Homo-oligomer: A and B are copies of this chain.
Amino acid sequence: MTTLTPATAADRTGVSIDTLRYYEREGLIGPIRRSAGGRRQYTEDDLFWIGLVTCFREAGLGITDLRGFVAILRAEHPPQDRVAFLRERRASLEQRVAALCRAMEVLDEKIAYYS
């Protein structure tokens, strides 16, 4: 199975090497497999997971939130706990969208005023 160097993984994901190591330290990804000499070897699965993390980071979730997310998806929580957790997260994202929409309404109002 082909693996990727940190540089390649960083390039493919758009996340810096330092940040990849930081995410790993924080338990958001990995632990990434190592070569005999200790160098990280990223797999395509790792990249996919990094993509998920990035997606949530871009949506504004904090590191702690993501740690919870990772824990839920990995650990042996009963399915209903997972669903409840995921719905909670979804609701908080909806609230963020609502806040954004309020701000956009204000902007639209100002735009209309100056147009």
The reply to whether A93 and B104 contact each other, CB–CB distance below 8 Å, is yes
Given contacts A60-B60, A100-B59, A100-B100, contact A107 B83 (CB under 8 A): no
How many identical subunits does the complex contain?
2
Per-position binary interface string of chain A over residues 49-84, scored 1 when its CB falls under 8 Å from any chain B CB and 0 otherwise? 000100110111100000000000100000100110
- Nearest-CB residue, chain B, relative to A109: B86
Classify the interface of chain A: helix, strand, loop or mixed.
helix
Contact of A11 with B by CB under 8 A: no
The answer to whether residues A106 and B55 also contact, given A83-B114, A97-B100 and a CB cut-off of 8 A, is yes
A: contact size bracket: 20 to 34
Closest to A101 in B: B97
Whether, in the assembled complex, A90 has its beta carbon less than 8 Å from a beta carbon of chain B, the answer is yes
Asked if A32 is an interface residue, CB under 8 A from chain B, the answer is no
Among A52, A59, A97, max chain B CB count under 10 A is at A59
